[in-house]
Structure 1
Protein backbone atom coordinates (compact mmCIF):
# COMPACT_ATOMS: atom_id res chain seq x y z
CA UNK A 1 0.00 0.00 0.00
CA UNK A 2 1.47 3.30 -1.10
CA UNK A 3 -0.36 5.29 1.58
CA UNK A 4 1.62 3.72 4.39
CA UNK A 5 4.81 4.11 2.35
CA UNK A 6 4.04 7.81 1.91
CA UNK A 7 3.45 8.13 5.66
CA UNK A 8 6.80 6.56 6.46
CA UNK A 9 8.45 8.79 3.87
CA UNK A 10 6.81 11.90 5.30
CA UNK A 11 7.84 11.06 8.86
CA UNK A 12 11.41 10.43 7.69
CA UNK A 13 11.42 13.79 5.92
CA UNK A 14 10.15 15.58 9.02
CA UNK A 15 12.65 13.87 11.33
CA UNK A 16 15.68 14.38 9.10
CA UNK A 17 14.58 17.94 8.33
CA UNK A 18 14.46 18.78 12.02
CA UNK A 19 17.88 17.24 12.57
CA UNK A 20 19.32 19.20 9.65
CA UNK A 21 17.67 22.43 10.79
CA UNK A 22 19.48 22.25 14.13
CA UNK A 23 22.82 22.73 12.35
CA UNK A 24 21.72 25.05 9.52
CA UNK A 25 22.52 28.78 9.45
CA UNK A 26 20.11 30.85 7.36
CA UNK A 27 22.60 33.52 6.34
CA UNK A 28 23.74 34.03 2.76
CA UNK A 29 27.41 34.05 3.71
CA UNK A 30 27.25 31.07 6.08
CA UNK A 31 24.65 28.76 4.50
CA UNK A 32 27.05 26.67 2.43
CA UNK A 33 29.56 26.35 5.25
CA UNK A 34 26.83 25.19 7.65
CA UNK A 35 25.80 22.44 5.21
CA UNK A 36 29.45 21.46 4.72
CA UNK A 37 29.87 21.43 8.51
CA UNK A 38 26.88 19.11 8.83
CA UNK A 39 28.28 16.69 6.25
CA UNK A 40 31.84 16.70 7.55
CA UNK A 41 31.75 17.28 11.30
CA UNK A 42 28.36 16.14 12.58
CA UNK A 43 28.24 12.45 13.40
CA UNK A 44 26.28 10.73 10.59
CA UNK A 45 25.45 14.17 9.18
CA UNK A 46 26.21 12.99 5.65
CA UNK A 47 23.74 10.12 6.09
CA UNK A 48 21.00 12.38 7.45
CA UNK A 49 21.45 14.80 4.56
CA UNK A 50 21.38 12.03 1.96
CA UNK A 51 18.30 10.44 3.55
CA UNK A 52 16.57 13.81 3.43
CA UNK A 53 17.52 14.50 -0.20
CA UNK A 54 16.70 11.03 -1.52
CA UNK A 55 13.60 10.76 0.66
CA UNK A 56 12.10 13.77 -1.08
CA UNK A 57 12.64 12.14 -4.47
CA UNK A 58 11.21 8.83 -3.24
CA UNK A 59 8.18 10.64 -1.82
CA UNK A 60 7.34 12.15 -5.22
CA UNK A 61 7.93 8.82 -6.97
CA UNK A 62 5.40 7.20 -4.63
CA UNK A 63 2.91 10.00 -5.27
CA UNK A 64 3.33 9.54 -9.02
CA UNK A 65 2.75 5.79 -8.84
Structure 2
Protein backbone atom coordinates (compact mmCIF):
# COMPACT_ATOMS: atom_id res chain seq x y z
CA UNK A 1 0.00 0.00 0.00
CA UNK A 2 1.41 3.39 -1.01
CA UNK A 3 1.30 6.23 1.39
CA UNK A 4 0.53 9.64 0.08
CA UNK A 5 3.00 12.11 1.49
CA UNK A 6 2.06 15.72 1.21
CA UNK A 7 5.03 18.03 1.27
CA UNK A 8 4.79 20.77 3.90
CA UNK A 9 8.21 22.18 3.15
CA UNK A 10 6.85 25.28 1.43
CA UNK A 11 4.35 26.19 4.15
CA UNK A 12 6.78 25.34 6.95
CA UNK A 13 9.52 27.37 5.28
CA UNK A 14 7.31 30.41 4.82
CA UNK A 15 6.05 30.19 8.42
CA UNK A 16 9.61 29.93 9.66
CA UNK A 17 10.66 32.88 7.51
CA UNK A 18 7.76 34.97 8.85
CA UNK A 19 8.65 34.10 12.44
CA UNK A 20 12.33 34.90 11.99
CA UNK A 21 11.52 38.17 10.23
CA UNK A 22 9.25 39.14 13.12
CA UNK A 23 11.98 38.42 15.65
CA UNK A 24 15.03 39.72 13.80
CA UNK A 25 14.30 42.96 12.00
CA UNK A 26 17.26 44.78 10.50
CA UNK A 27 17.49 48.54 10.54
CA UNK A 28 20.70 50.53 10.03
CA UNK A 29 22.80 47.36 10.12
CA UNK A 30 21.50 46.33 13.54
CA UNK A 31 19.14 43.59 14.63
CA UNK A 32 16.49 44.42 17.23
CA UNK A 33 14.96 41.76 19.48
CA UNK A 34 11.92 42.75 21.57
CA UNK A 35 10.91 40.70 24.63
CA UNK A 36 8.29 41.09 27.34
CA UNK A 37 9.89 41.81 30.71
CA UNK A 38 7.17 39.89 32.57
CA UNK A 39 6.77 36.62 30.64
CA UNK A 40 9.72 36.63 28.21
CA UNK A 41 7.64 36.32 25.04
CA UNK A 42 9.49 37.47 21.91
CA UNK A 43 7.46 40.12 20.12
CA UNK A 44 7.50 42.09 16.88
CA UNK A 45 9.33 45.40 16.91
CA UNK A 46 6.08 47.28 16.28
CA UNK A 47 4.29 45.86 19.34
CA UNK A 48 3.75 48.15 22.32
CA UNK A 49 2.22 45.55 24.64
CA UNK A 50 2.74 41.82 25.09
CA UNK A 51 0.20 39.72 23.20
CA UNK A 52 0.50 36.97 25.84
CA UNK A 53 0.20 38.74 29.20
CA UNK A 54 -0.73 42.34 28.32
CA UNK A 55 2.35 43.88 29.97
CA UNK A 56 3.59 47.13 28.44
CA UNK A 57 7.15 46.82 29.77
CA UNK A 58 9.16 45.58 26.81
CA UNK A 59 12.91 45.09 26.59
CA UNK A 60 14.59 46.01 23.30
CA UNK A 61 17.98 44.51 22.52
CA UNK A 62 20.02 45.86 19.62
CA UNK A 63 22.55 43.45 18.17
CA UNK A 64 25.27 44.43 15.76
TM-score range, shorter chain: 0.3 to 0.5
Identify which of structures 1 and 2 has the higher relative contact order when contacts are C-alpha pairs closer than 8 Å and 6+ apart. Answer: 1
Larger Rg: 2
Which protein has the bigger strand share? Answer: 2
Which protein has the bigger helix share? Answer: 1
TM-score normalised by L of structure 1: 0.34
TM-score normalised by L of structure 2: 0.34
